[in-house]
Structure 1
Amino acid sequence: MRVLHVITGLGHGGAEHQLDLLLRHLPDVDCEVAVLTDAGETATALRARGVIVHEVGMNGNRDLSALPRLTGLIRRGGYDIVHTHLYRACVYGRIAARLAGVRTVVATEHSLGDRMIEGRRVSAGVRTLYRATEILGGMTVAVSPTVAARLVRLGVDASRVTVIPNGIDANAFAYDEGRRAAVRRRLGIGMDEYVIGAVGRLVDGKRYGTLVDAFSQVDAVKLLIVGDGPQRGALEDLTVRRGVAPRVIFAGERSDVAGELSAMDVLAAPSAEETFGLAVLEGLASGLPVLYTACPALGDLDPDAAPGAREVGPQVSAWRDALADVVRTGPTRTAPPPAVHHYDIARSAADLARLYEALLAVHAEPALA
């Protein structure tokens, strides 16, 4: 079968990373990708592996000229399925697929929170547009039961929602002593220094300001923040105001996240609203203790599935106390817990391939006279 994945951008991000992983593991599926806006590093990586990436060249949310370009691309490609990812791509991709005559349309909902979707507030207008275009598709994949429940509350019919969780390649994040040493040398971190780490896009919702505030009350450790985004300048200013700038390292976007995790001694994930919590699983796969405020991936499992993870309240004081506790304990590394293996990417890819086959079979059935 031929599948076109339509995604808003292909820079660094959880949805982009998931698409890359899925394309590595989808069995017997010929996939191409159409990117509406930024063809960044993920696009480069896909092309290096031989994946065809089409650039639609969309300029802004209201660039309606992108719609006929995307429609034409789909029509010429002869795809069996169009699979959309992220809000803008889902809106435009579902319409374009319908105009191009593709009957089997799947969407994956990566970023729907209770109040926000992809950094925008879930307003009445956003809800209306979401529901109006959702009915043009066939099935929406939620990356966790938490997201499935949010979709239903948004007004999506429960029969049009299925859960296929995000996946992780545990081996790719295995702890590596050599990587630890190399990353610490590059960043100027001593091998005996305790490092609190964070990985993610630097946006308001990730609440890294809370982490900096809590960190400023913990002595004799360093904070390594891996990622970039619009809040970086504000966070750098905050470290200066709190008097901890010399102890905080902003590493920026890194292609070797596994190496950065190996360099850390604990992973901190202070976001209070998540759709899955992939960074938490990546930290656990590296054997790290993990502190988190919200992680649907773990909330949907038995607590024993991730003994190395600790839920922390959203308050600065709660994070200060939790950080102080792990620093007192000192560095510890464990084998990846059962939660990591539960979310194996090969399993998620196989579930997605079965969904494709089931939807194609439905659409292949002749209509009743």
Structure 2
Amino acid sequence: MISTLEPGGAGQQLRLLVRRLPYESEVVTLAPAGAGDVPDGVRVHRITTTRDHDPAAVRRLRQLMRAGRYDVVHTHLYRACVQGRIAARLAGVPHVVATEHHLGTETIEGRRVSPAVRALYLAGERLGQVTIAASPAIAGRLRSWGVPERRITMIPKAIDAREFRFDPALRAAARARLGVAPDVPVIGGLGRLEPDKRFDLLIRAVAEVPETVLLLAGDGSARAALERLAVIEGVADRVLFAGAVAHPREMLCAMDVFASPDHTAFGTATLEAIASGLPAVYGSCMPLEERVAARAAVRGTHRLSLDRESLPRALRAEVLCLAERRGRRLPARSAGVRYDADHLAASVGRLYERIGDRPGPRRVIAPLLGYRGRFGRKNSFPLPGGNVRNA
């Protein structure tokens, strides 16, 4: 169950899971039709709601879960976590898991982190069994909110590197559509165009890197402000806004240098960029920083400092390196199997097995609902390969 299936972010992580988990799966989204998709053959239920506290949506979710007789409900993102946990417990679902993909210090998915927002989240959290934090920072934030350590586990975000392999034909087609000549160096950024992503720094930096084009793939509330900034900086003719894309592979193929100036990001987009054979400069990418700490830095990657000159200086250096390579692509690289989609699915599968061995907290709610699991026993949960359903 997820708040929205929009391309990228949590929606992409859910798609990676659904393709790989050895269970019969269905997906519930709280977003309207058209807001993203899932792999073919997966049933999608849409229960549209725009509020975090929506009793009508909880009732519909409870009805859906009782009819589906699911063994596991796995929620993703704040709104789905709040409403899904409540509905699952009311429906007598034996096992409830949540994944937090991004919890900001000041905002969560655009809403301010007020005491009420936190209290609502904690009230629902007690109805689940475990929360998966997608990064150590999120795990720390959950602990600071009051979530017990024993109810938190860390499983990092991942990518399927094969989805981002470089294709010269795709590059040529993308550049032709964007109106970019084959020999023009393209610096690229990827992600939601929101203030905290700091694409404003990238626009200012490109003003100091002549004869290049900046390609921004994504959309968001900051787009209009970024377009005005490009005019103010005198680079409006060198900044291309591609808008939201269903999958970033084509845009990554069109780029020559990838840049992520955000110093708070997990770094999924940077992992996608290096899988496509791009050199990457980044403000924050936990997997690559781990490699640096282990004295096994990934070739063609450079972490930015907080110095305002760090970004333009790094971009100029990468453009020079591109010229020395005569435009040739770097080989595809990765940060290791820990950040591979197969490892993600295996880790989540093991978590399902582990909680399936525990007695589920159903003794209070289940008798009231007269609910018994598909397998005839409370708390029964088959191992992988069995007939299990999770939404």
Larger mean Cα displacement after TM superposition, 331-340 or 246-255: 331-340
Q: Which amino acid aligns with 1:325?
A: A
What corresponds to 1:286 in structure 2?
276
* CA distance in structure 1 between the aligned counterparts of 2:48 and 2:135, rounded to whole angstroms: 31
Matched, 1:266 2:261: no
Matched, 1:25 2:17: no
Provide closer, same or farther for how the CA distance between residues 232 and 152 of structure 1 changes in structure 2, counting only shifts above 3 A. Answer: same
Deviations 1:11-39 (CA, angstroms, capped at 9, x unpaired): 22310011111111112x11111111233
Provide closer, same or farther for how the CA distance between residues 299 and 322 of structure 1 changes in structure 2, counting only shifts above 3 A. Answer: same
What corresponds to 2:296 in structure 1?
304
* CA distance in structure 2 between the aligned counterparts of 1:194 and 1:365, rounded to whole angstroms: 58
Q: Which amino acid aligns with 1:169?
A: D
Deviations 1:265-303 (CA, angstroms, capped at 9, x unpaired): 1111111222x2210100010111111112223334435
Shift of residue 314 of structure 1?
4.1
What corresponds to 1:138 in structure 2?
129
Q: State the aligned residue count.
A: 357
Contact 1:285 1:340 in 2 (8 A): no
Provide closer, same or farther for how the CA distance between residues 34 and 258 of structure 1 changes in structure 2, counting only shifts above 3 A. Answer: same
Matched, 1:357 2:366: no
Paired-residue identity, %: 46
Provide closer, same or farther for how the CA distance between residues 338 and 277 of structure 1 changes in structure 2, counting only shifts above 3 A. Answer: closer
* CA distance in structure 1 between the aligned counterparts of 2:362 and 2:146, rounded to whole angstroms: 30
SS in 2 for 1:339: coil
Provide closer, same or farther for how the CA distance between residues 325 and 74 of structure 1 changes in structure 2, counting only shifts above 3 A. Answer: same
SS in 1 for 2:309: helix
Q: Which amino acid aligns with 1:118?
A: E
| 1:56-205 alignment, distance < 5 Å | 56-205=47-196
* CA distance in structure 2 between the aligned counterparts of 1:144 and 1:8, rounded to whole angstroms: 19
Q: Which amino acid aligns with 2:333?
A: P
Provide closer, same or farther for how the CA distance between residues 36 and 241 of structure 1 changes in structure 2, counting only shifts above 3 A. Answer: same
Shift of residue 60 of structure 1?
3.2
Of the three residues 324, 334, 338, the one matched with 2:316 is 324
* CA distance in structure 2 between the aligned counterparts of 1:350 and 1:335, rounded to whole angstroms: 27
Q: Which has the higher helix share?
A: 1
Matched, 1:38 2:32: yes
What corresponds to 1:8 in structure 2?
3
Contact 1:288 1:332 in 2 (8 A): no
Shift of residue 124 of structure 1?
2.7
* CA distance in structure 1 between the aligned counterparts of 2:120 and 2:51, rounded to whole angstroms: 16
Shift of residue 143 of structure 1?
1.3
Shift of residue 337 of structure 1?
2.9
Contact 2:95 2:360 in 1 (8 A): no
Contact 1:168 1:340 in 2 (8 A): no
Q: Which amino acid aligns with 2:64?
A: L
Bigger relative contact order (CA 8 A; separation at least 6): 2
Q: Which amino acid aligns with 1:324?
A: R
What corresponds to 2:267 in structure 1?
277
Shift of residue 42 of structure 1?
2.5
Q: Which amino acid aligns with 1:58?
A: T
Contact 2:94 2:360 in 1 (8 A): no
SS in 2 for 1:132: helix
SS in 1 for 2:335: helix
The TM-score normalised by the length of structure 1 is 0.91
* CA distance in structure 2 between the aligned counterparts of 1:195 and 1:141, rounded to whole angstroms: 37
SS in 2 for 1:89: helix
SS in 2 for 1:42: coil
* CA distance in structure 1 between the aligned counterparts of 2:362 and 2:318, rounded to whole angstroms: 61
Provide closer, same or farther for how the CA distance between residues 314 and 306 of structure 1 changes in structure 2, counting only shifts above 3 A. Answer: same
Deviations 1:44-76 (CA, angstroms, capped at 9, x unpaired): x43xx0111101121333433211111111111
Provide closer, same or farther for how the CA distance between residues 293 and 30 of structure 1 changes in structure 2, counting only shifts above 3 A. Answer: same
SS in 2 for 1:65: helix
Deviations 1:182-202 (CA, angstroms, capped at 9, x unpaired): 111111111111000011011
Provide closer, same or farther for how the CA distance between residues 315 and 120 of structure 1 changes in structure 2, counting only shifts above 3 A. Answer: farther
* CA distance in structure 1 between the aligned counterparts of 2:33 and 2:197, rounded to whole angstroms: 24
The TM-score normalised by the length of structure 2 is 0.86
In structure 1, runs of 5+ residues without a counterpart are 1-5
Tell which structure's C-alpha radius of gyration is larger: 2
Q: Which amino acid aligns with 1:247?
A: R
What corresponds to 2:371 in structure 1?
none
Q: CA RMSD in A?
A: 2.0
Q: Which amino acid aligns with 2:310?
A: A
Contact 2:61 2:84 in 1 (8 A): yes
Contact 2:187 2:214 in 1 (8 A): yes
What corresponds to 1:3 in structure 2?
none
* CA distance in structure 2 between the aligned counterparts of 1:129 and 1:299, rounded to whole angstroms: 34
